[in-house]
Amino acid sequence: MLNLVVVGSVALDSVKTPFGERHDVLGGSAAFFATAASYFSPVSLIAVVGEDFPEVHLKFLQMRGIDLTGLERRPGKTFRWRGEYSHQLNEARTLETRLNVFETFRPRIPEAYRSPDLLFLANIDPELQHSVLQQVKRPRLVACDTMNFWIEHKRTALVRLLQDVDALIINDGEARALGGDPNLVKVARTIREAGPATLIVKRGEYGALMFSRDRIFAAPAFPLEQVKDPTGAGDCFAGGFMGYLASTGNLSEEAYSRAVVFGSVMASFAVEEFSLDRLRQLDYKEIEDRFKAFKRLTFIEDL
């Protein structure tokens, strides 16, 4: 069992989809990531919340075995995001972002976490992501996420960060923007040459593609009849991916492929309900069953 640390956001989300509406529910990249990862391995969360952050959410994260030593509580309000999805559920329209205490977040890694085996840098300013790397002993695996805003406005810092990253986990629009080409195979070559040996492209309802040294691996998304809220699916994917790798201690290409499927499994559960509600009532047996269903989904007999 390897130890796993995530740095990112914990937020209160207000979300509207064609299937309902929720106000100030638990969200943020690190919360989604850590909750998904917690089904596989212990995880330590580095983030910041305000004085208004509800005790019930802290209890939930603790109950999931997530180490909150690195969760700062600062004067002011918690990061809030408000968004809505159309009937296609493919992309959120952000209605309001209030960074609040997150605006001045400078991740400080507690002494106890300075030798993580696996480190996930969720989507924050690439300069902050880089500052985290400078505070820790080189982990065995550093993975990160980013977003179009940083690709556009902080490309230099992002490119510098990528030199020290093993796995970049981003969505297809971001990959194309970063790689500067519509063709993902070309994009993968460009990005992998810039640093990350592994590129994982998340494609929402179309699944994920992993480009690594010897292989391209394709995982479909699990076909679901009910998708209520896609918020956090990408972070749950990353959490399942990293959590599974931490649990096995195996960082081979084969393990990465299985990890992509566990990531897809966790994302598929996440979208079935709002916020982290589906993950509140999930057990490991269900995760294993869906992993097997994923295998059946793409299984082809030999000729």
Residues that bind a second copy (CB under 8 A): 87-89, 182-186, 203, 206-207, 209, 215-220, 223-227, 254, 257-258, 261, 288, 291, 294-303
Instruction: Enumerate residues 6+ apart whose C-beta is below 8 A from 269.
Output: 236, 278, 279, 282, 286, 287, 290
- For the CB of residue 170, give the shortest distance to a second copy in the complex, in Å: 16
- For the CB of residue 159, give the shortest distance to a second copy in the complex, in Å: 23
Whichever of 147 and 218 has its CB closer to a second copy, that residue is 218
* The Cα angle at residue 45 between residues 40 and 51, in degrees rounded to 5: 135
Nearest CA among 135, 141, 132, 130 for reference residue 111:
135
Distance in angstroms (rounded) separating the CA atoms of residues 163 and 140: 15
Whichever of 109 and 170 has its CB closer to a second copy, that residue is 170
Range list of H helices, 64-183: 126-135, 148-153, 155-162, 172-179
φ, ψ of residue 302 in degrees (nearest 5): -65, 155
- For the CB of residue 266, give the shortest distance to a second copy in the complex, in Å: 15
Whichever of 60 and 206 has its CB closer to a second copy, that residue is 206
Q: Are β-strands 80-85 and 11-17 bridged in parallel, bridged antiparallel, or unpaired? A: parallel
Tokens of residue 172, six digits: 């297809």
Torsion of CA 153, 94, 209, 163, to 10 degrees: 20
- For the CB of residue 131, give the shortest distance to a second copy in the complex, in Å: 35
* The Cα angle at residue 183 between residues 264 and 173, in degrees rounded to 5: 55
CA-only gyration radius of the chain, Å? 18
Whichever of 60 and 291 has its CB closer to a second copy, that residue is 291
Distance in angstroms (rounded) separating the CA atoms of residues 242 and 256: 9
Q: Is the Cβ–Cβ distance between 242 and 37 less than 8 Å?
A: yes
Whichever of 113 and 217 has its CB closer to a second copy, that residue is 217
Whichever of 98 and 203 has its CB closer to a second copy, that residue is 203
- For the CB of residue 35, give the shortest distance to a second copy in the complex, in Å: 22
- For the CB of residue 235, give the shortest distance to a second copy in the complex, in Å: 22
Question: Would you call 231 exposed, middle or buried from its count of C-beta atoms within 10 A (0-12, 13-18, 19+)?
Answer: buried
- For the CB of residue 205, give the shortest distance to a second copy in the complex, in Å: 8
Residue with tokens 């300075």: 114
Whichever of 23 and 295 has its CB closer to a second copy, that residue is 295
- For the CB of residue 78, give the shortest distance to a second copy in the complex, in Å: 33
Whichever of 55 and 299 has its CB closer to a second copy, that residue is 299
